Amino acid sequence: MTTREHIASIPLTADDPTAEASIGGLVRDATSHMSTLVRAEVELAKGEIAAEIKKGVKGSVFFIVALTVLCFSLFFFFMFLGYGFAQWFGWHTWGGFLLVFVVMFLTAVLCALLGYRKVRKIRAPEKSIAAARDTVAALTRRGDDH
């Protein structure tokens, strides 16, 4: 970043050090200084949070790349299993690949069934719906009274 943001600061001395300040002036200055201090703290927090978010995004890119490489590497692992099963059992190559396919297919079916069971248990937010209906009923009845 080539430009720096300007953060407001609190002056440490009055504009006119010889002038006596009234109570109202002191309260006004204190309020102004407090407001400036709060704004400066908010700007500092924004800057720190933005920097931490940038670090998190950069770190997550490496995780995404690692997962992508892993996904592409799984293809070679399944090829290895197919050839390995064929050689281990003394089958033709297609037999090893068929075994890998059947295991992968059964795993996918099992995961789909487990997911279906979990999704089937999802219910509507009945308490929220009832509260919304009560609110609508209360507002419409209130209008009928007048």
Band of residue 105 on the pLDDT scale cut at 50, 70, 90: very high
**Whole-angstrom Cα distance, residue 84 to residue 68?**
25
Residue, of 5 and 114, whose pLDDT is higher: 114
Residue, of 35 and 87, whose pLDDT is higher: 87
pTM of the predicted structure, to 2 decimals: 0.49
Query: Burial letters for 105-136: b for 16+ Cβ neighbours within 10 Å, e otherwise?
Result: eeeeeeeeeeeeeeeeeeeeeeeeeeeeeeee
**Average pLDDT for residues 111-130, to the nearest whole number?**
89
Please tell me the predicted confidence (pLDDT) of residue 12: 55
Contact call for residues 99 and 83 (beta carbons, < 8 A): no
**Average pLDDT for residues 43-58, to the nearest whole number?**
87
Q: What is the DSSP string of 114-142?
A: HHHHHHHT----HHHHHHHHHHHHHHHHH
